[in-house]
Structure 1
Amino acid sequence: MAKTLPARDQVAPEDTWDLSKMYADRESWEADLGQAREMGKKLAEQEGHVCESARSLLDTLRQQTALYRKLHHLGVYVSCLSDQDTGNDTHQEMNQRFGSITAGIGSDISFITPEILELEAARLEDYYRQCPELEEYRIDLEDTLRLKPHILSKEMEKLLADASEICSNPDQTYAIFNNADLTFPEVEDENGEMVQISQGRFVPLEESADRRVRRETFEKFYSVYKQYSHTLASIYSGHVKQLIFNAKARHYENTLEAAVNGVNVSSQVYRNLIETVNQNLDKMHRYVRLRKRLLGVDELHMYDIYTPIIAGVSKEIPFAEAKETVLKALAPLGEDYLQVVREGFANRWIDVYENKGKRSGAYSTGSYESYPYILLNYTGNMDNLFTLIHELGHSMHTWHSNHGQPPMYAGYRIFVAEVASTCNEILLMEYLLAHTTDKKERAFLLNHYLDSFKGTVYRQTMFAEYEMITNRMAEEGQSLTAEALTKVYYDLNSKYYGPDMVSDPEIGVEWARIPHFYYNFYVYQYATSFSAAVAVAHNILKEGAPAVERYKKFLSGGCSMPPVELLKIAGVDLTSAQPIQDALDVFGQVIEELEELTK
C-alpha cells in the first residue's frame, strides 16, 4: 500500500475514464452550456402557450426533452471532472456555475408543469387524436398528472425552482468537506510502516489481520468525525430542513411520503422492509455470534466487523485479473452482454484507482449520449472485485435503457437502480462458489456472502431506519444536534448487531461519514433491490435463456412503467414483503452452512 496518495496528474491515463469522448476541452463544454442557455430562453417563450393546441404541447415537450438531455450531458461531464479531484478549484467553479445556471433555467421553465396540469382529461384525449405524435409522451404526461395534488401554481413553482440551488447547498457542502477538507492521521500498519488513513483506505486497514491496526485505525478515523460532529450535524440538519420545507410546500404528509411518491412507490414498501428486517434480527445476531467464535475473541468490537474470519484465504486481486473474473461470472447473461462489458474495459469507461482529492466510494453515471462511466477507488481486495461487478451492473442497466428507450424514458427510477448491480454481485458469488473445491476457500466465500447480506440488507435498512427517525424528529420540532444524532445511531447499531457485539462509543458518530444520508431516502432501495436480485439471479442460473430474456426486458424498460410493475417483468413483486423474507431465509441458510463448515 503506497504511503501517500498520488496527485491526479500522476495517475496513468489508461487507469482513468476517458471524458474526452464527452467534450474535447473546456471550450467545447462552455459552448454547449451557452447553447443550453439559449434553448432555455427559447423554451421560456412558451409561457402561457404550452397547451393552447396539440402542436404547441408537442413542441414544448420536445424542446424540454432536448434541453434536459443536453443539461444532463453537461452535468455528467462536469460532475465527473469535479469528483476525480475535489481539490481542483477550476472544476469546482465549473460545477458550481453549472448548478447555478441549471437552477436559473429550471426557474425560467417552471411554468410548464402547472400549465399542463390545467388541461382537462377530455381535452388532452382530443389532443392525442389531433396529433398522434403526442402519444410518445403519454406515459410522461400521465405521470405528471399523477402528481397533480402536489404541483403548485406557476408562481409557486417558480419560487421553488429559484430555491433549488439553496436547497442543494447542504449536500454540496458535505461532499466538499468530507472529500476535500477532512484530513486523517497516520497509522502504523502490520509491517511497521506509517500509512495515512483516507476514505478509500479505511476499510482495507480495518480488514487487517492485526487487531491493533484495526483498533487504532477505527479510533483515529472516527476521532476526526467526532472533532467536526457539530459542524456535520448542522449540515445534516440543514439538509433535513430543506426536505421538510419542500414536502410541506407540496402538500405531503411528511418527507418520506414526498420521497417515495416522487418515484411512484408506496411508503408501505419502505415500512415493510424495516418491519421485516426487524423481525429477522435474530439471524443478524446469530451471524455476529459466529463471527465472534471464528475470530476467537472474548469481546467482538466494531473494528472487528470487516476483517476476514477465515484466515489465510484473502489475496490481492490485480485489476486485470478482476476484469477476467467478471467476464466469466457474467457468462450466463449471454455473449451480447459480455461484448458490451468488453467494450467498456477497452474504451476506458472506468476511473480505477484512488488519487488525492478524488471522491470516495464508487458509482456509475452517464448521459444518453455518453459512456456509462464508473468511478472506483480500487485497492485490489475481494470487496473491490464485487464493487467492480456491482457498478458494471449499473452501467449495463444504463446501456440497455439508453438503447431500449427514447430519451424521455431512458432514465430508470432509483427504486430499481440497485437490482442490476446486485444481480451481478450474486452471479459473481455463485460463480466463485461453484469453482472452488477448497473447504477453506468455500468458507471464505460464504462469509463474504453473509457480509453482503449484512452490508446491503441489514446495514442499509439500519440506515433507512435512521433516516426515518431523524426526519421524524425534525418534523416534530426536535433539534438534530450532534449528541442527538449520535444517540439515535448508537442505539440502532446496538439493536441491529445485538448483545454479542460491543458497540464502541466511536461508532455512534458513523452517521457523519455516510454520504447517502443526503440522497433523500435512497438507501432502503439497496435492501429491496438486493432482495429482488437474489430472486432474479437464482432464476437466471436455474432457467437459463427464458429468465435472461425477461431480465434484459427489465433492463431495457427505463422508466416506461412504474418501477414496481417493471420488476414484475423480472419475476419479483415488492408490493409484498415476501421477497425480503425469502432473501433473509437465504441469509439464514448460508449461516447454517458456514456454521457446519467451521465446526
Structure 2
Amino acid sequence: MSEPTSLPLREKIEAKFKWNLCDIFQSDEKWEETFRLAEEQIPVLKKFEGTLAVAVENIISYLKMEEEIEIILKRLHLYAMLSKDSDMNVPKYQSMDSRIKTLITNFASYASFFKPEVLKLEKEKIEKWCEEIEELKIYAHFFDDLFREKPHSLTSGEEKILALTTELKNVPYNTFSLFTNTDLQFPKVNDESGNEIEISHGRFYSAMYSGNRDFREEAYRAYYKPYMQYANTFSSLLMGNIKGNVFSSKVKKFNSSKEASLSRNNISIKVYENLVKAVNANLGPMHRWTALKKKILTVGELHPFDTYVNIFPNEGKKYSYEESVVLIKEALQPLGTSYFEILEKAFSQRWIDVYETRFKRSGAYSSGTTVGVHPYVLLNWNHQLNDVFTLAHEMGHNMHSYYTGTSQPYVYANYSIFLAEVASTFNESLLLDYLLEQSQSKEEKLFLYEKYLNNITTTFYRQTMFAEYESEIYQLVEEGHSLTTLDFRDLYKDLYQKYWGSEMLVDPEEEYTWVRIPHFYYNFYVYQYATGFAASELLVQKIKSEGVSGVKKYLQFLCSGSSKYPLDILRDAGVDMSTSEPIIATINKMTLILNEIEKLYN
C-alpha cells in the first residue's frame, strides 16, 4: 500500500495513540475556571511587598503563596501548550496559550519585588534562619543560589520592567514557530514509487533515510525551498531574538549573553569553551567517518543529503510504535523494577501523542515537570529506527521529570537543561547497546555501529558545531555588527565544511540550515546536548561496571532535581564535566567503533 499523499487529520487517529489531557483538566471550561482563579490570586502577592525584611514569617508566607500560584500556572500552561501543539490551526488553543503566557508574565511582574527585597538582607541572617527555622530549612540551597546572583540583581522597579519585556522577547520565537508549523508551504515531490507526496517536517527526515538518492536529493531541495524563499524574514527574526537576549544580559550586568545563560545553572563559561576547543582539536574521527561514507556509497561527491542514509542498510526495516515500546522496555530493564513500573504507566495510560497529523507541532519533546501531573511526550512517528531512539530519548526526559517531581519539594522539583540531556541520551545509549547485544549477523552489527556513529555525529559533533555557530553570531552582534542573511549563511557554511571535512560538498541549501533550527532561539541551549551525550556515555559505563551501585547512583541523579548545582549533581553520579575527560572519552569511543566497522567491512 502506498503512503497517503497528505497528512491525516487528528480525529482519524485512535485515542490510545493520543495523549489524555483530562489528567490535567477535565475540560476547556475547567481550564477557564482555573484561569480566572489564578487571575484573582496573583495580585494578592502585592500585599507582601515591603514586608519581607520586617519578619521572617512574611518570607515563609510569601514563598508558600508563590508556590501555590506557580503550580496552578504551570498546570494551565501545560494544558494550553499541549492543546495548541496537537493542532496549531485551532484559534481557541492559540488564544489560550497566548493568554496563559501573558498571565505568567503578569505573575513575574507582581513577584519581581521578592528577589531585590531579600537581597537587601544580610546573607548570614538568611543562612541562620535556614538553619534554625524548620519551614525554611529546605530553602537553604535556594537562597544560596539567589545570593550567588546578587551582582546581577536589579531594583524592584527595574526587575518589574524587565519582567514585562518577556512577551516582547518571545515574539521572534513565537513567530518562527507559527510560521514554520502552519504557514510554510512545502512543494510536492515524487517518492520512490513515483507517487506524488506532500513534503512535511516528518517526511523530510524519512526521505533522508531513503536508499534512493534521486528521491533524497529532490526531497532535500524541496524542503529547503520555502526556507530559502523566506530567508530574510527568518534572518530578521533570529536577529530580533539575539538582540533581545543581548539586551537582557546587558541590563543584568553580564559580560555576554553566553555568560548570562550559563550563569543561571552556575556553569562556568570554561565548560562551554572546553567543549568547543576539545572537539575542534579532535575532528579527525568525524572526517574519517565522512570519507568512509563517501567510499562505501561510491559517490563522486558526498552531499549533505547523503549524511542520513544508511551505508549499511537494514533492508528498509520499518518499526511499528507497539514493537518499539517492547524494545525500549527490554533495553531499560537494567534500571530496575521501580523505573520499569513508571515506564509501563507512561505507555499504557496515554502520556504519549504518537503520530504526525495535519497542523500538529513538528519534532518531539517531553513536557517537563509539572507538580501533581505526570509529564507528557509529543512524537511524530515515521516508522524509522530514528523514531525508536527518539521515543527512548523523550522517555529519558519523562522519567527524569517524574522522579524529580515525586522526590523533591516544589522549590527543587525541576532540573536544569544541562542535566536534562544526560537522562535522554543515557536511554538512547542503553537502547543501542541492547540492540547490539541482540544482533545476530555482521550486517546487523554494522547497521547498529553506524547508528551509534550517527548518534555521535548528530548529538555530539553537530550540536557542538551549532554551539560554536551560536557563540560566533552572538559575539559579532555584541561587538556591534548587524548580521544579514549572507552573514548567517557564510558563517554556517564555513563551520559545516570544517566539521565535515574536505570530502563533503556543501550545497547552497545547506547554507540555510540555521534558518530552521528552533534551538537557536533558546539562548545557548544546544551545547548541553553535547555535554549531556558525553556525561551519559560515562554513566552507562558505570552502570555496567558497578551494577546495582551504579543504578542506585543514577536513580538518585534522576531524583535530585535542582537540589544542588548541576555540576555537583553530576559529580555525585560519578562524572566531572569541568574536565575534558568525558569529551575525550566520547571521541575515543567513536574511534574504536570506526575501527570495528572497518574490521567487519573489509
TM-score range, shorter chain: over 0.9
Could you say what secondary structure the match of 1:109 adopts? Answer: helix
Distance 1:49 1:315 in 2: 65
Q: Is the 8 A contact 1:114 1:153 kept in 2?
A: yes
Moved more, 227-236 or 541-550: 541-550
1:423 positional shift: 0.7
Could you say what secondary structure the match of 1:172 adopts? Answer: helix
Moved more, 133-142 or 187-196: 133-142
1:246 to 238, 245, 248: 248
Distance 1:522 1:24 in 2: 34
Which position in structure 2 is the counterpart of 1:544? 547
**Change over 3 Å in CA distance of 1:130–1:382 after alignment to 2:** closer
1:35 positional shift: 1.8
Distance 1:311 1:100 in 2: 49
Which position in structure 2 is the counterpart of 1:562? 565
Could you say what secondary structure the match of 1:286 adopts? Answer: helix
Distance 1:526 1:497 in 2: 19
Distance 2:528 2:601 in 1: 33
Which position in structure 1 is the counterpart of 2:303? 301
Q: Quick check: 1:583 aligned with 2:586?
A: yes
Q: Quick check: 1:396 aligned with 2:366?
A: no
1:421 to 424, 446, 457: 424
Q: Is the 8 A contact 1:53 1:127 kept in 2?
A: no
1:126 positional shift: 4.5
Q: Quick check: 1:509 aligned with 2:512?
A: yes
Could you say what secondary structure the match of 1:501 adopts? Answer: coil
Distance 1:375 1:390 in 2: 12
Q: Is the 8 A contact 1:54 1:131 kept in 2?
A: no
Moved more, 62-71 or 552-561: 62-71
2:448 to 433, 445, 449: 445
Could you say what secondary structure the match of 2:254 adopts? Answer: coil
Could you say what secondary structure the match of 1:65 adopts? Answer: helix
AA in 2 matched with 1:185: P
Distance 1:549 1:123 in 2: 36
Which position in structure 1 is the counterpart of 2:57? 55
1:34 positional shift: 1.7
1:134 to 133, 136, 139: 136
Per-residue Cα deviation, 1:443-474 (whole angstroms, up to 9, x for no partner): 00000000000000000001101110111111
1:371 positional shift: 1.6
Per-residue Cα deviation, 1:152-175 (whole angstroms, up to 9, x for no partner): 001100110111111111111111
Could you say what secondary structure the match of 1:308 adopts? Answer: coil
Q: Quick check: 1:327 aligned with 2:329?
A: yes
Which position in structure 1 is the counterpart of 2:528? 525
Distance 2:44 2:364 in 1: 38
1:129 positional shift: 5.7
Distance 2:167 2:214 in 1: 45
Could you say what secondary structure the match of 2:189 adopts? Answer: strand
AA in 2 matched with 1:152: L
AA in 1 matched with 2:586: A
Q: Quick check: 1:104 aligned with 2:106?
A: yes
Q: Is the 8 A contact 2:126 2:143 kept in 1?
A: no
1:293 positional shift: 1.2
Distance 1:267 1:285 in 2: 27
Distance 1:129 1:544 in 2: 37
1:90 positional shift: 0.8
Distance 2:388 2:45 in 1: 46
1:530 positional shift: 0.3
Distance 1:271 1:578 in 2: 14
Q: Quick check: 1:171 aligned with 2:181?
A: no
Distance 2:460 2:259 in 1: 22
Q: Is the 8 A contact 2:489 2:511 kept in 1?
A: yes
**Change over 3 Å in CA distance of 1:196–1:121 after alignment to 2:** same
Which position in structure 1 is the counterpart of 2:275? 273
Q: Quick check: 1:461 aligned with 2:464?
A: yes
Distance 2:124 2:446 in 1: 63
Q: Is the 8 A contact 2:375 2:402 kept in 1?
A: yes
Alignment of 1:83-102 (within 5 A): 83-102=85-104
Distance 1:370 1:121 in 2: 35
- Aligned-CA RMSD value: 1.1
Moved more, 438-447 or 537-546: 537-546
Q: Which runs of 5+ in 2 are unaligned?
A: none
AA in 1 matched with 2:420: A
Q: Is the 8 A contact 2:324 2:388 kept in 1?
A: yes
AA in 1 matched with 2:436: L
1:311 positional shift: 2.9
Which position in structure 2 is the counterpart of 1:571? 574
Distance 1:314 1:417 in 2: 32
Q: Quick check: 1:154 aligned with 2:164?
A: no
Per-residue Cα deviation, 1:312-345 (whole angstroms, up to 9, x for no partner): 4440011110000001100111122111111111
1:31 positional shift: 1.5
Alignment of 1:293-372 (within 5 A): 293-366=295-368, 367-372=370-375
Q: Is the 8 A contact 2:314 2:444 kept in 1?
A: no
Per-residue Cα deviation, 1:103-131 (whole angstroms, up to 9, x for no partner): 11211221111101111123324433663
TM-score with structure 1 length normalisation? 0.99
AA in 1 matched with 2:469: Y
Could you say what secondary structure the match of 2:502 adopts? Answer: coil
1:410 positional shift: 1.1
Q: Is the 8 A contact 1:244 1:255 kept in 2?
A: yes
2:387 to 384, 387, 407: 384
Distance 1:270 1:129 in 2: 35
Moved more, 45-54 or 496-505: 45-54
Distance 1:54 1:411 in 2: 25
Q: Is the 8 A contact 1:284 1:454 kept in 2?
A: yes
Per-residue Cα deviation, 1:330-376 (whole angstroms, up to 9, x for no partner): 01111221111111111000000001111111010141111210000
Alignment of 1:28-39 (within 5 A): 28-39=30-41
Distance 1:461 1:284 in 2: 12
AA in 2 matched with 1:556: C
Per-residue Cα deviation, 1:283-329 (whole angstroms, up to 9, x for no partner): 10000011111111111111101111113444001111000000110
1:95 positional shift: 0.6
Could you say what secondary structure the match of 1:23 adopts? Answer: coil
**Change over 3 Å in CA distance of 1:504–1:129 after alignment to 2:** closer
> Sequence identity of aligned pairs in percent?
39
Moved more, 316-325 or 333-342: 333-342
1:77 positional shift: 1.2
Which position in structure 1 is the counterpart of 2:490? 487
Distance 1:275 1:210 in 2: 37
Q: Is the 8 A contact 1:313 1:444 kept in 2?
A: no
Q: Is the 8 A contact 2:235 2:485 kept in 1?
A: yes
Q: Quick check: 1:258 aligned with 2:260?
A: yes
Distance 2:334 2:132 in 1: 47
Could you say what secondary structure the match of 1:111 adopts? Answer: helix
Moved more, 17-26 or 62-71: 62-71
Per-residue Cα deviation, 1:406-461 (whole angstroms, up to 9, x for no partner): 11101011110011111110000110001112100100000000000000000000
AA in 2 matched with 1:479: S
Per-residue Cα deviation, 1:386-424 (whole angstroms, up to 9, x for no partner): 000010000000111111101110101111001111111
Q: Is the 8 A contact 1:84 1:359 kept in 2?
A: yes
Distance 2:77 2:577 in 1: 32
AA in 1 matched with 2:445: R
Which position in structure 2 is the counterpart of 1:222? 224
1:543 positional shift: 2.1
Distance 1:590 1:122 in 2: 53
Distance 1:435 1:421 in 2: 22
Q: Is the 8 A contact 1:232 1:512 kept in 2?
A: yes
TM-score with structure 2 length normalisation? 0.98
Distance 1:528 1:39 in 2: 40
